Amino acid sequence: MSRALQRIKPLERNETLAGRAHDELRTAIMAGRFRPGEKLTIRAVAAALEISLTPAREALFNLVAEGALESGPNGSVHVPTLDEARITEITRIRLALEGLAAREAALLMDDAAIEDARRLNDLIIKADRKQDYAAVIRHNWQFHFRIYECARMPVLVRMMEGCWLKTGAYLNLIYPEFGRLEDGMRNHAAIVRAIERRDPVALETAIRRDIEFAARILAKAIRAEPELQ
């Protein structure tokens, strides 16, 4: 093969419409653009994304299979709602999974990853100061998963994403209160210190505190607006 041909990159797989719809809905859920319990119809999704029913349907039911959406009676699809029992359950799962990821990641993070995490934490703080809570949510996700992916456990990452997706619709419910609290900042600072020292125990402790803190805020927010259960 000629040298010139070797430099040509393989064709990027033209993402399918169903795949793009899936990603689009996924990020919309994470960004809290849907209200908890909101019904998503196949036709509405198809119309919004200007695709036909088939890929829209596939995206919706794949998200159901993934746990990011829930299916109701008669094949209807809804954004999941959370009651306190569900929050408690997801929190306990997160403690187990993210604790595992944190311990492993602390041992495997390279300097680039540590620097990325530090930078993302700064971005969170800056976005919070500017009250750009959409950016806070996005950077908070990136901050956590930049750390977790260093554990090199892709199945685990996927499961943790599933947990985050289930609570995604509530994230903008708890801002701005969440961001402004000193505790949240302190937890993230502790996480950064722990990864800088590559200390598995300290990192797991800091992550656990962050998870439990978020759970408390979320439970309080839901108690305040019980119609969202």
Partner DNA sequence: AGCGATCATCTGATATAACGTATAACCTGC
Partner DNA sequence: GCAGGTTATACGTTATATCAGATGATCGCT
Question: What's the min distance (Å) between Cβ of 90 and a copy of itself?
Answer: 6
- Residues 41-70 binding DNA (CB under 7 A) are 41-44, 51-55, 57-58, 61
- 216 vs 57, 91, 197, CA distance in Å? 35, 10, 28
Q: Which residue in the set 2, 5, 50, 74 belongs to the binding site for a copy of itself (CB under 8 A)? A: 74
C-alpha 196 chain-centroid distance: 23
Is the CB of residue 214 less than 8 Å from the CB of residue 95? no
User: Which phi and psi angles does 39 have, rounded to 5°?
Assistant: -90, 130
Per the structure block, which two tokens stand in for 32?
């809290």
- 170 vs 35, 84, 175, CA distance in Å? 8, 13, 9
Question: What's the min distance (Å) between Cβ of 42 and DNA?
Answer: 3
Q: Which residue in the set 39, 75, 129, 183 belongs to the binding site for a copy of itself (CB under 8 A)? A: 75
Between strands 77-78 and 39-40, the pairing is antiparallel
Tell me the three state secondary structure of residue 71: strand
**DSSP secondary structure string for all residues of 91-127:** HHHHHHHHHHHHHHHHHH--HHHHHHHHHHHHHHHHH
C-beta closer to DNA: residue 75 or 176: 75
Q: Is residue 144 at the binding interface for a copy of itself, with CB under 8 A as the rule?
A: no
Binding mask 68-107 for DNA (x = CB under 7 A): -----xxxxx------------------------------
Q: Residue 145 binds which entry of DNA, a copy of itself, none, with Cβ cut-offs from 5 to 8 Å by kind?
A: none
Q: How many residues are recorded in the chain?
A: 229
C-beta closer to a copy of itself: residue 54 or 229: 54
Q: Is residue 7 at the binding interface for a copy of itself, with CB under 8 A as the rule?
A: no
Name the site residues for a copy of itself (rule: CB under 8 A). 10-11, 13, 16, 18, 54, 57-58, 61-67, 71, 73-75, 86, 89-90, 92-93, 96-97, 99-100, 153-156, 158-159, 162-163, 166
Which residue ranges make up the site for DNA (CB under 7 A)? 11, 13, 16-19, 41-44, 51-55, 57-58, 61, 73-77
